[in-house]
Amino acid sequence: KYSRQIGAYGMETMGKLVKMEVFIQGLRGLGAETAKNIILAGPKRVVLYDPTITTINDLGSNFYLTEADVGKSRRDQASLTLLKELNPRVDVEIADFDPEKDISKLKQFSVVCITEVMNTKYLANVDAVTRESKGAFIYAASTGVSGFVFTDFGKEFIIRDENGEECKQHIVKAVSNSTEGVVMIDDSLGKLVFTDGDFVTFKEIVGMTELNETPPRPIKYVSPMAFSIEDTTKYGEFIAGGIVEQVKVPKPHQYRSFTDSLEHPYVEGGKIPELTDFSKFGRNELLHLAVQTLHKFFDENKSLPKPNDKEILKSYLEAAKVRLEKGKEEKVSWMTNSQDWDEKVVAQVLTWSQCQILPNTSFMGGIVAQEIVKFTGKFTPIDQWMWFDFFETVANIPEDANRIAKNGRYDDQIAIFGNEIQDKLSDLNIFMVGAGALGCEFLKEFALMGVSSRNGLTVVTDNDHIEISNLNRQFLFRINDVKKPKSEVACRVVKTFNKDFKTVDHQTLVTPENSHIFHDQFWEGQDFVINAVDNVKARKYIDNLCTWYGKPLIDSGTLGTKAHSQVICPFVTNCYNDMQDPPEDGVPMCTLHNFPSMIEHCIEYGRDSFTGNFTDAIEDLKKFSANPQNFITELKKEGNVTVQINKLNAIKEAILIAKSEDFNKCIDVAFNAFVELFDFKIRQLLHNFPPEYVDNNGAKFWTGSKRVPSPIVYNIEDPLSFSYVATYSTLLAQSLGIKPKDFDYIKSYTSKLQIPEFKPQVIKIKVNDSDPDDDVMLSSEEEEKKLKQIIEEIPGGKFSISPSTFNPQDFEKDDDSNHHIDYIHALSNLRASNYRITECDRLKTKLIAGKIIPAIATTTASITGLVAYQVLTLLQTNKIDYLRGAYLNLAVNLYIMTEPGPKIETQDKDMDPILFGPVKAIPPKWTVWDKLVLDQGSMTFKQLSDYFMEKYSVEVCIVACNKKTLLLSISKSFKEQLGKNIEEEYARVCDTKIATNYLTLEVSADCTDGATALLPLVKYVFK
């Protein structure tokens, strides 16, 4: 269940987390969101306290309250049952004491978290208790479209891992003897990932041995391939080898009390808090002044201001203004950094402080829950204060907006955005692609915001099914839902949050093949598209559809504690496909096969081995058994005779074993594979390249990333060696339809096997991927003869085993009983041992082999809250100044909101670097949002060409549709093609019936002045 979370936190942090006891006071929106996220994370115990009787507007932010609770149930008691269901491993309970009367009982908790504005005297007392008990105090409040978080982790808190990034290592290439020793890395495996202030350790350095196995030392960045360390002038001369690795060094941090921090959010000379929006310089300090004023109001009135009551705030706003002006005059450090007085900013904090809305509580609830986790020492806690405001989301709401409450669940939202926006929300049609972690959070937000609650409809599609590993972050799912469709369950459950929420689920991929489901009328009926998918290919395709149909798209994604969002607005912003994702780092095949230097290389080799032995090879066997002649015909098309021979030999051996139904033969294969891979292959490598081998230029072969290996002789008492043979033989037997025997039998059998004598061969070993293959060239007659010989050796003449006998292994990382990860783990660590690479635990093998993306509920909640804000903004305006994309890293408190990039206009160029000539945009400055609509009825290619010449003065050269070329000017049949009907030719070329009344054409043309014309897509309406 916790595998994705462990990928983000690590086992050490999880070990601390499961012992943590948390107290949460306040169960409106922010409290419920915080409780949900921390319960999913899995502490030992979460105690809730909120005796307030549920009101109708609580239902707009606490998703576990119902209309039946209004006026009857305490918030904490009404929320308890569903919060407990989130994670059966966590003890969730209601406090059996009143902390305001018996504050000493808070000492038993690791973290005390208050999520609503309270009396400053009480807050100071709670803070004092937690400081005394060496616990943490977290205080936060969601105040309309703004909010704040305060943390106090005590006088002596130790941050053990500031950023949560995995420690990286490099191969050392050289180290200078100088006052600041410069370390050069082998950059063939990637550029330097260390930065200033990182700590590193060295090992296996030859010559300059003073560096080896010493305490961590700080470094300074020099270049993408070098960094500097201390004075090395008195060290030995560097000769060769070595590894340098990042090390996490614990760092102490001291926190000030709540009382001191409220008065002075940061001290003179201290670190100034980072901005979250660079269009708001000086905003943090003004927001803190608003927080101080809000607490002054609460202390004096024992309540928060009534929403939109301007009269009651007048004296408080005037006092705040005077205080700021005086502070600037007296050069109070934090006040001097504030922007000038802006009454609207402070007034909006105060006047909406009672209002809790889902976008804000979702965003902040992720942050607050993450701060609770940080008490484990993982990640960097907020340095006392963090403030947020999203006032740009209300900047286009008119002053005379109808904000009259309706005594309903949306009243808090109406108080801020008005009934006009609420009506628009209720009629929205939204198409959401994906119902996983992001999708669950979006559905929660849309339901409580009132989206699609009147005439609108939210359509959700996801072809995936629920897995156990989903349960700790996809909060709408329970153990009984495993194996059920995600979209179906999510839509069913979220309707319990708001019975008026109208939603329909599909289990259909959004692909060209399914355009009959998601057709033109469907797309044209959507108001927004929300991307909640986890792969680039799907994002790109959906982005293309949104630009074609002119629909707003909001995209988001997470990776551990990091998240991003991008708002894409028709004819205003750039789109997803305008952004270039960095290419993934690849590992050269020769490195994987012969010269690994990192555990990741070994694990990737193990994953490839699993696929080759138990998936691809068995698929080949299954195909051969179904139709031998057809398989051989297709095999010959692969061209490489060595591959063909190897595949047929493997099939022959597999058939012999399958026909025998003898499990012992499976053990023999596994044992021989062990000897070959970990023993003989290494001996052969050392035979070709002995440890002291030098090349023709006198350069050492075994240097840099090439590590001298050593063979491993099979030892039945070595757990890894035995695990490899046992899992290999078991998986092979399962693949061939043979019943495997238990591991005790395998151990007994292998104890009697003899290791054959190693005899070195004369073979060439590839050192670089560019080296030629050492294949023996055969004539076509010899190839045919060799293949025929192998085919004849396959037993039984006509194949006598049914294809259904064979079971290709479909890699499944989450089933610990299937031996898949165990096989890869044993192989990976044995290979690491061969090459003196530090071995890893099974969890790391699982994370890398399974390509498990670290994922946690906190990050998902935060980013989806920001996306929901963009929906509210786009209902008012599409001006780019008011839109915001986001990048978050909750580990290091990085929250950056930025305007999206503007639409990209196609420009004329005198010299295009790709086409090597002039290009011209036709029509001028068109964007991806534009298309040429050609709706003059059915046309021939000649009529199309004449149209473009007459209207745009360009000569058509190529016409293509759906990646099929329909017209090509350099073709011999060009003149003949000109007379053909466009849609008929497309139907003939694609052998299909056209389901729509138009085709999307890509037209390439030349201008009359010789420039290449750059044209947008053409919508050719033929009927």
Residues 503, 450: Cα–Cα separation, whole Å = 12
Distances from the Cα of 666 to the Cα of 735, 740, 756, angstroms: 10, 9, 18
The answer to whether 149 and 382 have CB atoms below 8 angstroms apart is: yes
DSSP-derived secondary structure for 691-757: TT-B-TTS-BSS-TT----------TTSHHHHHHHHHHHHHHHHHTT-----HHHHHHHHTTPPPPP
The answer to whether 275 and 287 have CB atoms below 8 angstroms apart is: no
Task: Say if strands 1018-1021 and 932-934 run parallel, antiparallel, or are unpaired.
Answer: parallel
Phi/psi of residue 150, nearest 5 degrees: -120, 140
Taken as a whole, the chain contains a residue count of 1023
Considering Cα of 114, then 115, then 116, then 120, what sign does the dihedral take?
positive
The answer to whether 75 and 122 have CB atoms below 8 angstroms apart is: no
The answer to whether 862 and 893 have CB atoms below 8 angstroms apart is: no
373's tokens: 């986790």
Residues 923, 927: Cα–Cα separation, whole Å = 10
Question: Of these residues, 590, 957, 990, 1007, which one is catalytic?
Answer: 590
Residues 528, 425: Cα–Cα separation, whole Å = 11
DSSP reduced 3-state for 304: coil
Q: Say how many C-beta atoms besides its own lie within 10 A of residue 456's C-beta.
A: 20
Phi/psi of residue 303, nearest 5 degrees: -165, 170
685's tokens: 């490598």
Direct distance between the N- and C-terminal alpha carbons of the chain, in angstroms, rounded to an integer: 54
442's tokens: 């979006």
Q: Say how many C-beta atoms besides its own lie within 10 A of residue 7's C-beta.
A: 22
Residues 502, 494: Cα–Cα separation, whole Å = 10
Residues with Cβ < 8 Å from 1013, sequence gap 6 or more? 919, 920, 922, 952, 954, 1004, 1005, 1006, 1007
590 catalytic per annotation: yes
Q: Say how many C-beta atoms besides its own lie within 10 A of residue 354's C-beta.
A: 20
> Which stretches within 835-922 are classed as H helix?
842-849, 857-874
The answer to whether 202 and 215 have CB atoms below 8 angstroms apart is: no
List the one residue out of 424, 418, 398, 396 whose CA is nearest residue 406.
Answer: 418
Phi/psi of residue 46, nearest 5 degrees: -125, 120
Beta-bridge mates of residue 539: none
Residues 554, 874: Cα–Cα separation, whole Å = 11
- The secondary element (H helix, E strand) that includes residue 881 is none
Strand intervals (E) in 784-916 = 885-889, 894-898, 909-912
**Active-site amino acid positions:** 590
